[in-house]
Amino acid sequence: MIGPPGAGKGTQAKLLHERFGVPHISTGDMLREAQRNGSLLGQEAKRYIAAGRLVPDDVVIGLVDVRLARPDAAPGFILDGFPRTVHQAEELDRMLARRGQRLRAAVSIVVPEDELVRRLAGRRVCRSCGAMAHVVFDPPATPGVCDRCGGELEQREDDREDTIRRRLEVYAQETAPVIDHYRRMSVLRETAGVGTPEEVFERVVASLG
Ligand code: AP5
């Protein structure tokens, strides 16, 4: 899944996981988990994430390489938020070739920038179970409390408006060129990301054939 911050990559990847049962591998989730565990990797990643910058390629490539080696990924997987640079995309091609696998589709989700900012600025995430809510589009029954588990809802540290703008700039500079990489490989599926999550999901599934 490729797309700018707030395009709905995580939302769609979760729905694909539920429908098709293949693992959802999110580098953003892996890095946030490392931060929560207080590991060295997490401490290093925190500086980059909080500033809206990309974590260095070698760190993220190593994480994905280890994750793809787990048995549940052998029949297939959904990558969310990786690759994010052309170098990561080339390394992923090499990783998959070593395993006799290949990328079948790169789903690019397209959403206008003002909508991205609205989605991210209002997003809240449960500290306990990771469920997402939105203060306007999907408000919790009790403000600040997760509908699913009763945990505390918080704003991601990189969802503040100045950091959102920085993430969008980084996307345009570093990640948008990855779309051309996949267009050249004839695996790109561009999908409009506006409408309800369910409407977008039906388009994503249709684009996958
Ligand atoms: P990551 O966690 O991957 O963040 P991101 O790419 O910025 O994406 P988001 O999670 O913000 O958005 P999303 O597209 O998944 O949308 P979502 O479904 O959540 O990465 C975070 C950081 O980690 C990076 O900035 C970087 O520092 C580092 N990192 C990660 N991977 C890296 C890599 N490969 N290399 C280097 N560094 C890396 O939806 C957003 C909101 O919109 C939610 O509130 C949701 O409910 C709502 N929403 C979703 N769909 C709809 C819809 N159709 N209509 C209305 N609202 C919707």
The whole-number pLDDT of residue 196 equals: 92
Q: Are 29 and 1 in contact (CB under 8 A)?
A: no
Counting from 1 in the atom list of ligand 1, the atom nearest the Cα of 11 is 18
> Residue 209's pLDDT is what?
87
Residue 148: predicted pLDDT: 95
* 27-48 pLDDT tens trace: 999 999 999 899 999 999 999 9
The Cα-based distances of 9 to 29, 39, 58, 146, 201 in angstroms read: 12, 26, 22, 21, 10
Nearest protein Cα to ligand 1, atom 12 = 6
pLDDT at 50 (0 to 100): 94
Determine whether 203 is an active site residue: no
Q: Indicate whether residue 55 lines ligand 1 (CB < 6 A).
A: yes
Q: How far is CA 31 from CA 40, 49, 59, 107, in A?
A: 11, 9, 10, 22
The number of the ligand 1 atom at minimal distance from the alpha carbon of 13 is 18
pLDDT of residue 203: 98
| DSSP state at residue 80 | E
For residue 64, the SS3 value is helix
What is the residue-level pLDDT of the chain in tens, covering all 209 positions? 999 999 999 999 999 999 999 999 999 999 999 998 999 999 999 999 999 999 999 999 999 999 999 999 999 999 999 999 999 999 999 999 999 999 999 999 999 999 999 999 999 999 999 888 999 988 999 999 999 999 999 999 999 999 999 999 999 999 999 999 999 999 999 999 999 999 999 999 999 98
* pLDDT of res. 130: 86
CB-CB contact of 195 with 104 (8 Å)? no
What is the tens place of the pLDDT at every residue in 132-163?
899 998 899 999 999 999 999 999 999 999 99
Q: Among 1, 11, 181, name the best residue to mutate to test ligand 1's pocket (greatest count of ligand atoms within 8 A of Cβ).
A: 11
27 lines ligand 1 (CB under 6 A): yes
CA proximity to 91, closest of 58, 45, 66, 48: 58
Residue type, 206: A
pTM of structure? 0.94
Q: According to the model, what pLDDT value does residue 137 have?
A: 86
Describe the strand order of the beta sheet including 132-134 as a list of residue ranges.
132-134, 123-126, 153-154
Q: Is 175 in the pocket of ligand 1 (CB under 6 A)?
A: no
Does residue 46 carry a catalytic annotation?
A: no
Which pLDDT value is given to residue 14? 94
Residue 134 CB less than 6 A away from ligand 1: yes
